[in-house]
Amino acid sequence: MTDPDCIFCKIVAGEIPQEGVYQDDLVTAFRDIHPVAPTHILIVPNEHLASTNDLTRNHEKLAARMLSVVPKLARHEGIEQSGYRLIMNSGPDGKQEVIHMHLHLIGGQAMRHPIG
């Protein structure tokens, strides 16, 4: 299921030139266009889910995959030991701007973040 008007669906489909970081049967990872730190990767479901509110038990494999790719990406970025943040925004108060669920993987120096 894709949304023809959704920017992240277009990235998943390869319709927007992008420095791809990782893709498998369930998720795609690519670099945030406005990075807040040296590593800023977005991990998104290949299928269009608006936010965490769309998750059901049918998505357990997908939700697990979004997390299980993290150590692979962190190793690749060289931030496995130095550390990183995982952030998933949902809805207006969560400051979600792109309405296709995504997990921010943010690592490296000079991080900006509202929480600590």
Residues that bind ligand AMP (CB under 6 A): 7, 32-34, 42, 89, 95-98
Q: Are 29 and 41 in contact (CB under 8 A)?
A: yes
Q: Which is nearer to Zn ion, 28 or 39 (CB)?
A: 28
Q: Which does 100 bind (CB under 5 to 8 A by kind): ligand AMP, Zn ion, none?
A: Zn ion
3 near Zn ion, judged by CB under 5 A: yes
Q: Which does 48 bind (CB under 5 to 8 A by kind): Zn ion, ligand AMP, none?
A: Zn ion
* Order of strands across the sheet that contains 20-23: 20-23, 27-31, 39-45, 103-107, 84-87
Q: Which is nearer to ligand AMP, 30 or 74 (CB)?
A: 30
Q: Strand pairing partners for 19?
A: none
Q: Are 46 and 28 in contact (CB under 8 A)?
A: yes
User: Which residues belong to the active site?
Assistant: 102
